[in-house]
Amino acid sequence: MSTQLPAVEKKKFLDRRIAECELFKDFISNNNSEGYSRLCHQLKGSLKMWGFLNLSEVAAQTIFKYMPLNDDGIQRKSLLNQELEIYHSALKNELKQVIISP
Amino acid sequence: MTQKKCIWIIEDDFEIQKLMELVLSTKYNLVFFNTFKAIKDSSLSLNHSSNKPDMFLLDLNLPDGTGFDVIKFLKNENLIQEKNPVVFLTANDSISSKLLGFELGALDYICKPIDPLELKARIDVIFKIYSMINQKQTDEILYIENLEINLIEQNIYSNKNGERVSLGLTYSEYKLLVYFIKKPNILFNREQLLDVLRGDNINTVDRSVDVVIYRLRRKLGEVGKYIKSVYGGGYKFDFNPTQNTSVAKSPLLAEKTA
């Protein structure tokens, strides 16, 4: 995707994604497989459409990796939290690269 | 200044809505609906407002239904007309869904993810095509007073007590009338008008024109008065579109006489 969206809007989008990680955490800790899946489904479309191809790739390798989720306890939760952490870091890195003109 | 076209967007994903707003809102008016229920609740009132839809952009997977349900509902309520293109924008790329979408009348079926600029380009093209089609259709129906000159059907209708009645012109009469209408206020001699009639297997002697014009005037009634005889010159359609409001409905005529 080669969209040239305003940097301010891209930054806001990434901020929303970073905040959304808390929601993912809640879904993982509450075994809310449905909520987790729905959020992943939305992210798949929006990350690419907003032009964040690298992030989309990271998400595919981390938080989308174990879809569909099945309830197999703490070990899976720990694994998912690790994947979420990697995705979260990628978001923050991406945010640093968004340059907002003065 | 022309009014912005309005697109009704049925999309439950806030981020996609936001993206569309960024890319499309400078050129189009956008009305967003998150759910099937939302469009059911507000479509009737919105359809009578300034936000009347010129296009529908439908997501397929909604929290309380599908885009297919939406298109069926809009059709049942007569909210979708021929001139309102429907486009699906969805992550569902199965061939069965695509076929069903087209079967239900969609003009395009776009799979997510799509670059928003490509989406905008596609929407622009659809509007351009529709505008060309609508313009062509408008050009092909002219109005003079209570007469409808239908170039598609090659027929002339009059409005008699609210009823559309064919004048029953012969092809020669029709051809001559259209020739006059397209070139108002120009004097044609008999030879020129004979050229128009030739090839219709009628006996085109010099006076054939007079006979056709006599019959034409009679059939046209009031509008017949615009066909003027010019002594020693021929005939002309003495008609000034700017003084006749009804002809404003006829872009072709306005263009020809501009």
Structure tokens at B132: 């060309």
| Confidence at residue B143, expressed as pLDDT on a 0 to 100 scale | 84
Alpha-carbon B67 to chain mean position? 27
B125 contact partners, CB below 8 Å, separation of at least 6: none
Instruction: Quote the pLDDT of residue B201.
Output: 56
- Name the band, by pLDDT with cuts 50, 70 and 90, for residue A84: very high
Cβ distance of B115 and A16 shorter than 8 Å: no
pLDDT at B30: 94
Say yes or no for a CB contact (<8 Å) between A2 and B19: no
What is the pLDDT, as a whole number, of residue A49?
92
B5-139, what's its fold? Rossmann fold (3.40.50)
Instruction: Please tell me the predicted confidence (pLDDT) of residue B204.
Output: 63
pLDDT at A71 over 70: no
Helix (H, G, I), strand (E, B) or coil at B142: strand
* pLDDT in the model for residue B257: 38
Residue found by looking up tokens 């239908």 in the block? B150
CA distance B25 to chain A (A): 13
Rounded Cα distance between B227 and B148, Å, is: 17
Q: What is the pLDDT of residue B83?
A: 75
Residue whose structure tokens are 């002339």: B156
| Direct distance between the N- and C-terminal alpha carbons of chain A, in angstroms, rounded to an integer | 25
* Residues paired with B28 in a beta bridge: B5
Class of the CATH-defined domain B141-257: mainly alpha
For A26-67, how does the pLDDT look when each residue is reduced to its tens digit (9 = 90+)? 998 888 888 888 899 889 889 999 999 999 999 999 998 877
- Rounded-to-integer distance, Cα B105 and Cα B245, Å: 37
**Which ranges of chain B have pLDDT less than 50?**
245-258
CB contact under 8 A, B22 and A6: yes
How close A80 comes to chain B (CA, Å)?
24
Domain-by-domain residue ranges, chain B?
5-139, 141-257
DSSP bridge partners of B163: B160
Q: What is the pLDDT of residue B214?
A: 92
| Structure confidence at residue A73 (pLDDT) | 53
Contacts of A1 in chain B (CB under 8 A): 113, 115
- Token pair for residue B18? 């936001």
> What pLDDT is recorded for position B253?
40
The answer to pTM > 0.90 is no
A3, A13, A41 member nearest B116 (Cβ)? A3
Cβ of A78: how many Cβ atoms within 10 Å?
11
Q: What is the ipTM of this complex?
A: 0.86
Evaluate whether A82 touches A35 at the Cβ level (below 8 Å): no
| Whole-number pLDDT of residue A38 | 86
Reported as a single tens digit per residue, the pLDDT across A1-20 is: 445 789 999 999 999 999 99
